[in-house]
Amino acid sequence: MFIDRETEMKLLEERLKRGKAEFIVVYGRRRIGKTALLLEFIKKHGGVYLLARETSESENLKRFSEKLAEYFNDEFLRKNPLQSWDAFFEYLHQKSLKDRLIIVIDEFPYLVKGNKVLPSILQEYWDLKLSQGKIFLIICGSSISMVEKLFGYKSPLYGRRTAQMKLKPLNFFSAKEFFPRYSLEEFVKVYGILGGTPAYLLEFNDEKSIEENLLDYFRADSFLYGDALFILREELEEPRNYFAIMEAIARGKTTLNEIVNETGLERATVGKYLSVLIDLDLVRREIPVTASWKSRKGRYYITDPYFAFWFRYVYPNSDLIETGEGEELIELVMKDFNNYLGWIFEEIAKQFLIELNKRKELPFRFMRIGKWWHKKEEIDLLALNERERKVLFVEVKWKNLSEREAKRILEKLERKSKLVGLEGWEMVYGLVAKRVEKKENWLVWDLKDFERLISFNAEV
């Protein structure tokens, strides 16, 4: 199933059309859909896909030789596999001197594990030979920390890549394509559980209820149950302390002081671990959207709903899963689920407004969007156009609202907006909710408007 990724595919195709040598790095967390994108690219344009394994160097070279021999119909290579990385890159050089050749090497860090000097060999061949031809070389990796180290300042490959692409999860509106049978309200719940990672979305079946899918999730042998542990242990040293921090954030402890108090860890230690989690795209730091980037009012949030759900419900209750009591865990989840979905729906509403902004369906084009807070006052979303001095204030409610309730929320929002300190700006007020009874003459959106956007995207 290949869904979305139009932007990424377009970027690759634009590079392909240039005709000159390209050295592109594609990376991102495991399961995010890198391989599916690259296989689709090769399917459309031809080329050779080479998947590295955690095996010996000679075995990888043998397998790569078989793939190249098949692609070029090279009987000599089939009978005489390449014996070194020098021979491998020389072969690619000769085949790409005059003709465009797409080569994808997936899980490249595995090859480096087997031969630490491989980056130096590739650097030499790129500088002296490959860059002079027409090769279209894509290096791909799943360990974000390893890939960034491989191409970092101290690496021989630093400065050699011609482009890089960090794949992220699908957004809410693209991910909905996986579940045509679910209503939008049901899919908000699914997105809150799985996020936008394609491999996780494929684990749910929209012919089953959400509770039935959760019962499959809450099993000791479940892929969804075990994969969070696998990914985090692959990326992190001392995972226990990182887990404590992420569990605290998942429970709503979002400031540095709250996380320190919740985990019992030293402040400096928490700060260091948070920095690593941010680099790995597992946690993000937010400041009030009107504040300077130097602001100390930072709050921390888990970036991906899959990990947010896992650390809020699954990790603390793993004993219930291990003892086969998944139904009891479902009951615990459902009692609190609407509270959790409030945060998820804010993120979805933000994506919705960004889509409207692209389509010019708002009173003005905004340049920045984010939360605002000061002491105990908070506004869910502010969208700013600083050049034109215009601002859109938006409250987000995961609720069904009557006309009276909607009006009361907007009036309260107008009062709170006076605290932000944007005197002299043009101010507009909006509301996003699950359902709103009456929306005439209001800047109000609900799930019916989300459905319209999804239908529009499907037609396009």
Closest listed residue to residue 392, CA positions, set 380, 403, 378: 380
Rounded to the nearest 5 percent, the helix, strand and coil shares of the chain are: 50, 15, 30
The residue extents of the domains of the chain are 6-166, 172-346, 359-459
108 CB-side CA count, 13 A: 27
What is the value of pTM for the model shown? 0.88
- The answer to whether the 172-346 and 359-459 domains have the same CATH topology is no
The residues, ordered by sequence, that sit 6+ positions from 420 with a Cβ below 8 Å of its Cβ are 290, 372, 379, 382, 391, 393
Report d(CA 341, CA 337) in Å as an integer: 6
**Tokens matching residue 98:** 């005059």
Domain 359-459 classified CATH 3.40.1350?
yes
Contact 12/24 with Cβ under 8 angstroms? yes
DSSP reduced 3-state for 102: strand
CATH architecture of the domain with range 6-166: 3-Layer(aba) Sandwich (3.40)
| Residue listed under structure tokens 């031969």 | 115
- The CATH class, in words, for 172-346 is mainly alpha
Per-residue confidence in pLDDT tens, the chain, 460 aa: 556 688 899 999 999 999 899 999 998 888 888 999 999 999 999 999 999 999 999 999 999 999 999 999 999 999 999 999 999 999 999 999 999 999 999 999 899 988 999 999 999 999 999 999 999 999 998 777 777 778 877 788 888 889 989 899 999 999 999 999 999 999 999 999 999 999 999 999 999 999 999 999 999 999 999 999 998 888 887 788 999 999 999 999 999 999 999 999 999 999 999 998 998 889 999 999 999 888 888 999 999 999 999 999 999 999 999 999 999 999 999 999 999 999 999 999 999 999 999 999 999 999 999 999 998 899 999 999 999 999 999 999 999 999 999 999 999 999 999 999 999 999 999 999 999 988 777 799 999 999 988 876 655 5
Rg over CA atoms, the chain = 25
421 CB-side CA count, 13 A: 7
**Tokens matching residue 278:** 């941010």
